[in-house]
Structure 1
Amino acid sequence: MTGSLTLSTEIELGWGTHDRGEYSYFSNRGTKESETLDELLHLCNKHDIPITFDIVGHLLHDSCSGEHEGSYPQGWWNEDPGTDAAIDPLFYAPELARRISNTETEHEIGTHTYSHILCENVSADTVRHEIERSREVHREFGLNSPKSIVFPRHQTPSYEVFSDLGIEVVRRPIEDYYIPENLARKFVWGVKRTHPTTELRKRDGIVETLCTPNPSLSSGFLQTGQTELHPLLKAIPLTIRQRILRQYIKSAVDRAVNQNGHVHLWTHLFNIANDEQLPPIKSGLKYLAKRRNDGDVTIHRMCDLPQLVNND
């Protein structure tokens, strides 16, 4: 049997939390996130593994005035510094997109909307404006218009809102995905859980690739970004905590193969921008490449998925 697998990484930096004005997840000037992207791209080149990078459109700007057209919630742009990449690299990061575009492996740069808009809080016109602005900045940057989108915090609007804007693929969470509320049970679940397989499906002309609600290419048992891990988790030896993620990724690959299904693993760039997350990810992707080379699994960017659905 042959399974299929998609990897996606959200690049949002400061825009990911600008509505909260909270930036403790990020390194100073995004230095660690930049270094981590280089390591990830090197790993992908080594194993010929393509990733879909969902990038907030504003990050493609070298600079801006801080003033933006469109109908937005009051105060939405308060955190926009109105400067440039040299002064505020958490809000302007065109160099990250250039590195992705110039690497040996042919990755996809999809969109994560223009300003990390939260679709449940705005009108359909604002959602359309966000996607249209993303298309514009992609073209200005020399990129193809995005064919895939991941909506911030998985707040996915009706497909009628954007189906005519060139978007063909949406990543959205698995419905009724079970996560225990009790902390003790949640801990046991986190250790023993396996990644579900799904089927690619087309709804209202849009291909859906389903994922877990929380990041699956990184682990909550490991440091997230620059924040301190909970002391109870930190008391567990690092090698054991890393083994949990390594085995989870490998198990996800195996389940895709054994169940002839689709698996979508994802994370944020800032999630893995530390020394704890990358080692098990490297091991897991090496295993994925081996199974791909053995003919057991295929790896697809989000923009490639419509072809799989249309060929069924």
Structure 2
Amino acid sequence: MGSVVISLDAELGWGFHDLESPPDDRVEAGRRGWSTMLELLDTYDVPATWAVVGHLMLESCDGRHDDHPAPEGWFDRERSEWRHREDLRFAPDLVTDLLESDVDHEFASHSFSHVLFGDPKTDRNLAAAELERSASIAADWGLSVDSFVYPRNDVDHRDVLAEYGVRCYRGRSPTGDGVRGLFDSMVRDRSLLVEPSVDEYGLVNVPASAFLFGFEGPARTVAETVWRDPMVVQARRGIDEAIEKNGVCHLWLHPNNLVDDRDDERMRSILEYIDRRRTEAGLTVETMGELARRTLADGGNDSGPRSVRAPSSDG
């Protein structure tokens, strides 16, 4: 019957604070996209894995973090031009909305301050500090962290994840993201299915199948003028393939990708299709944590979903 997983990188300003020229539209869309995605997922009763930057769960801070072993200048934007942009730096209100949702979402970690784990400047000490602070803040909220999403999918220091009790992480897409991934999956007819596996640290790697906003700009506008939204077509193809082959399709995005109404419509179309295929064909919707537990129970290799989540009454 197949399984679909949706994961979101919930980061607000932290996804861009290290960039010289952050994209203003996406920086400002973070809160809007977060609330919109919660509403859409609620409408179609679709649970997702929300990987949250730990700093967002703080009520306030001095912006210095002197005891954090980050590279020099890492928190400069927080202390300078975003000093009075608390809406970009903190989001306990949005995290509360997530946790109080009627849908059984998974709370996951996206590090403490969006440090790139594969960067040469990120040594084991810094990776451990990011995990420790994320876990500590989550514990203050009464939460634990089973799943981890690497900032910008820069996978490294997996041993640190294991040390801090993480169960699984999102691995890189085997087909690549953006135009390359779209070309490989649609033109070269490469599979969008992924196979979870257990690595040498006992962690479950849940690779991504496709980034849902990897085909944007003028190319997207032209494509939508003469055809349907290519990312919706790709997502539906992956969902159908999961059903036909009893496999896993893992779709991901950032809430800040929802900049305007047409982005909302893309996600509405995909979620409506998931809900419809769940009813028609028994598609299972899983979180990363649920898939990891099932993979471990199956001895380290995924062998198809065991149960079907009840379809929503809204679909």
Question: TM-score if structure 2 supplies the norm length?
Answer: 0.83
How far apart in 2 are the matches of 1:284 and 1:150? 22
Contact persistence 1:145–1:166 (CA under 8 A)? no
How far apart in 1 are the matches of 2:114 and 2:158? 18
Q: Identify the match of residue 72 of structure 2 among 61, 71, 74.
A: 74
In structure 2, the CA distance between the partners of 1:16 and 1:289, relative to structure 1 (3 Å rule), is same
| Structure 2: tracts of 5 or more residues without a match | 299-315
Paired AA for residue 137 in structure 2: V
Check if 1:156 corresponds to 2:173.
no
How far apart in 1 are the matches of 2:159 and 2:182? 40
Contact persistence 2:3–2:284 (CA under 8 A)? yes
Stretch of structure 1 that moved more, 163-172 or 293-302: 293-302
Aligned match of 1:129: 129
Kindly state the Cα deviation for residue 51 of structure 1 after the two structures are TM-superposed.
Answer: 0.8
Equivalent position SS for 2:79 = coil
Aligned match of 2:311: none
How far apart in 1 are the matches of 2:237 and 2:198? 26
Check if 1:307 corresponds to 2:293.
yes
In structure 2, the CA distance between the partners of 1:306 and 1:107, relative to structure 1 (3 Å rule), is same
Stretch of structure 1 that moved more, 75-84 or 256-265: 75-84
Contact persistence 1:85–1:93 (CA under 8 A)? no
Aligned positions of 1:33-182 closer than 5 A: 33-68=30-65, 69-81=67-79, 87-120=85-118, 121-140=121-140, 142-175=141-174, 177=175
Kindly state the Cα deviation for residue 220 of structure 1 after the two structures are TM-superposed.
Answer: 1.6
How far apart in 2 are the matches of 1:186 and 1:256? 17
Contact persistence 1:195–1:248 (CA under 8 A)? no
Contact persistence 1:249–1:284 (CA under 8 A)? yes
Q: Give deviations 1:101-128, integer Å, cap 9, x for gaps.
A: 1111011121110000011231111101
Paired AA for residue 16 in structure 1: G
Kindly state the Cα deviation for residue 187 of structure 1 after the two structures are TM-superposed.
Answer: 8.4
Aligned positions of 1:183-198 closer than 5 A: 192=187, 196-198=192-194
How far apart in 1 are the matches of 2:177 and 2:190? 12
Q: Give deviations 1:5-63, integer Å, cap 9, x for gaps.
A: 110111112111211133324467x4x43233222222212221001111111111121
Kindly state the Cα deviation for residue 259 of structure 1 after the two structures are TM-superposed.
Answer: 1.7
How far apart in 2 are the matches of 1:206 and 1:246? 31
Q: Identify the match of residue 212 of structure 2 among 217, 229, 237.
A: 217
Kindly state the Cα deviation for residue 178 of structure 1 after the two structures are TM-superposed.
Answer: 5.6
How far apart in 1 are the matches of 2:127 and 2:177? 29
Aligned positions of 1:223-234 closer than 5 A: 229-230=217-218, 233-234=220-221
In structure 2, the CA distance between the partners of 1:195 and 1:59, relative to structure 1 (3 Å rule), is farther
How far apart in 2 are the matches of 1:133 and 1:207? 22
In structure 2, the CA distance between the partners of 1:239 and 1:104, relative to structure 1 (3 Å rule), is farther
Stretch of structure 1 that moved more, 236-245 or 143-152: 236-245
Contact persistence 2:242–2:248 (CA under 8 A)? yes
In structure 2, the CA distance between the partners of 1:240 and 1:304, relative to structure 1 (3 Å rule), is farther
In structure 2, the CA distance between the partners of 1:8 and 1:85, relative to structure 1 (3 Å rule), is farther
Pairwise CA RMSD: 2.7
Contact persistence 2:111–2:131 (CA under 8 A)? yes
Kindly state the Cα deviation for residue 242 of structure 1 after the two structures are TM-superposed.
Answer: 4.9
Check if 1:248 corresponds to 2:234.
yes
Check if 1:199 corresponds to 2:185.
no
Check if 1:277 corresponds to 2:263.
yes
In structure 2, the CA distance between the partners of 1:85 and 1:194, relative to structure 1 (3 Å rule), is farther
Paired AA for residue 131 in structure 2: I
How far apart in 2 are the matches of 1:173 and 1:303? 17
| Structure 1: tracts of 5 or more residues without a match | 222-228
How far apart in 2 are the matches of 1:179 and 1:269? 17
Contact persistence 1:6–1:263 (CA under 8 A)? yes
Kindly state the Cα deviation for residue 241 of structure 1 after the two structures are TM-superposed.
Answer: 6.1
In structure 2, the CA distance between the partners of 1:39 and 1:85, relative to structure 1 (3 Å rule), is farther
Identity of aligned residues (%): 25
Q: Identify the match of residue 257 of structure 1 among 243, 258, 261.
A: 243
